[in-house]
Amino acid sequence: MTEPRALILVDIQQGFDDPYWGARNNPGAETNAAKLLNEWRARSWPVFFIQHLSTNPDSPLHPDQGKTAIHPLVAPLPGEPVLTKSVNSAFIGTTLEQDLRAAGITALTICGLTTPHCVSTTARMAANMGFQVDLVHDACAAVTANVDPSWRNSAARPDPKFIHQAALDQLNGEFARVIATHEALG
Amino acid sequence: MTEPRALILVDIQQGFDDPYWGARNNPGAETNAAKLLNEWRARSWPVFFIQHLSTNPDSPLHPDQGKTAIHPLVAPLPGEPVLTKSVNSAFIGTTLEQDLRAAGITALTICGLTTPHCVSTTARMAANMGFQVDLVHDACAAVTANVDPSWRNSAARPDPKFIHQAALDQLNGEFARVIATHEALG
């Protein structure tokens, strides 16, 4: 029998439906994440919801903005673990590593928002801590607010599709196996 | 007086002078790193050398290949700390965090190889652990071996200049202040 993998849903929250973040790619990311979630529940495999609580008062993910709830398409059921954090990595300031180790989990399937920030940072740390990582590209998305090219005197923010691709190109093979939802379900 | 910052030199090693890594940008990165190192020594500020010892027998950074030494342009002096690691993050499997905390250091200046892998992962973790990070773009470099676009059915690896830029665009503002060597020396 296949070893259970934990599904890590990173920051799939209402606050990402806000113009603050600019243009976005993969509008179907939440729907694909819901497909993964339903399959994981059907398999009785572990699922962890990661919820970002920003410390930046201007962020739509700051608790005072009232939009930190997990997105309705992937709403947690009673008893499913929701771990809160205030930095990018889901492993810093949370019990995620110890919860995974306690459950004997060695392989993760990661998806969520946003590809180059919290998803990338979480996948990098997971791999460096020794977990085998599948990253589901079409259940992730990038936004234009994710990049700041001002350090090279450019104001031209790339299209979110290219931000997403660049982030995943850097991770694929080195930190994770980058796959599609249909492959993760297979 | 300015608070001392620790200089973290990531994986500036002889093994990166190998065709294994493909094309590279910023050929002057080691020279710029040496300028930072000389200034840090002149200021008597803390310096940490990070040395990657790969577990992949094919890597030029595997100890059996005989090229894991720190690059001569930034060779450590007797007594300067060299921390070895075998994953991307300089904080995993090393004493770096505890050494920095013990020294009361809260701000880091990071440079080295390669931008999207070990430098990016180290900068992300540093920021998420609460350190204030300056990342010196012209004392870092990317190589074509850093990206694997096969997940999107592409064999076209980007130019290292664009790999480097994409990696830093993702970090700037969110995880680090991306600056030039002359700014770090100022």
CA nearest to B118 within chain A: A124
Give the domain A6-185 fold. Answer: Rossmann fold (3.40.50)
Q: Cβ of A92 under 8 Å from any chain B Cβ?
A: yes
Across the interface, whether the CB atoms of A169 and B149 are under 8 A apart is answered yes
The set of residues, in sequence order, having a beta carbon less than 8 Å from that of B13 and lying 6+ positions away, is B51, B52, B61, B67, B68, B69, B70, B71, B113
* Shortest distance, CA B129 to any CA of chain A (angstroms): 7
Across the interface, whether the CB atoms of B174 and A128 are under 8 A apart is answered no
* Residue boundaries of the structural domains of chain B: 6-185
B36 or A1, which is more confident? B36
Residues of B in contact with A167 (CB under 8 A): 166, 170
* Shortest distance, CA A176 to any CA of chain B (angstroms): 11
Residues 117-146 (A) with a CB less than 8 A from some CB of B: 117, 120-121, 124-125, 127-129, 137, 146
Give the count of alpha carbons within 13 A of A179, CB side only: 16
pLDDT tens per residue, chain A (186 residues)?
A: 578 999 999 999 999 999 999 999 999 999 999 999 999 999 999 999 999 999 999 999 999 999 999 999 999 999 999 999 999 999 999 999 999 999 999 999 999 999 999 999 999 999 999 999 999 999 999 999 989 999 999 988 899 999 999 999 999 999 999 999 999 998
Across the interface, whether the CB atoms of A170 and B179 are under 8 A apart is answered no
> What percentage of residues in chain B have a pLDDT greater than 90?
95
pLDDT in tens, B128-150: 999 999 999 999 999 999 899 99
Residues of B in contact with A168 (CB under 8 A): 151-152
B88 or B155, which is more confident? B88
Element holding A34 (H helix, E strand): helix A29-43
* Shortest distance, CA A123 to any CA of chain B (angstroms): 10
Section B101-106 average pLDDT? 97
Matching residue, tokens 């029998």: A1
How confident is the model at residue B136, as a pLDDT? 99
Section B91-99 average pLDDT? 98
Across the interface, whether the CB atoms of A166 and B168 are under 8 A apart is answered no
Determine if residue A107 is left, alpha or beta; phi over 0 gives left, psi from -120 to 50 gives alpha, anything else beta. beta
Q: Output the 3-class SS for chain B.
A: CCCCCEEEEECCEHHHCCHHHCCECCCCHHHHHHHHHHHHHHHCCCEEEEEECCCCCCCCCCHHHCCCCECHHHCCCCCCCEEEECCCCCCCCCCHHHHHHHCCCCEEEEEEECHHHHHHHHHHHHHHCCCEEEEEEEEEECEHHHCCHHHHCCCCCCCHHHHHHHHHHHHECCCEEEECHHHHHC
How confident is the model at residue B11, as a pLDDT? 98
How confident is the model at residue B3, as a pLDDT? 86
Residues of A in contact with B151 (CB under 8 A): 137, 168-169, 172, 178-179
Residues of A in contact with B146 (CB under 8 A): 170, 174
Across the interface, whether the CB atoms of A163 and B167 are under 8 A apart is answered no
ipTM: 0.97
How confident is the model at residue A1, as a pLDDT? 55
Per-residue pLDDT band for B2 (boundaries 50, 70, 90) equals confident
Choose from A169, A172, A181, A182 for mutation: most chain B CBs within 10 A. Answer: A169
Q: Find out whether A59 and A20 touch, Cβ atoms under 8 Å.
A: yes
Section B2-7 average pLDDT? 92
Cβ pairs bridging A and B (under 8 Å):
109
Query: Residue B1 pLDDT > 70, yes or no?
Result: no
How confident is the model at residue A115, as a pLDDT? 98
pLDDT in tens, B143-182: 999 899 999 999 888 999 999 999 999 999 999 999 999 9
How confident is the model at residue B85, as a pLDDT? 98
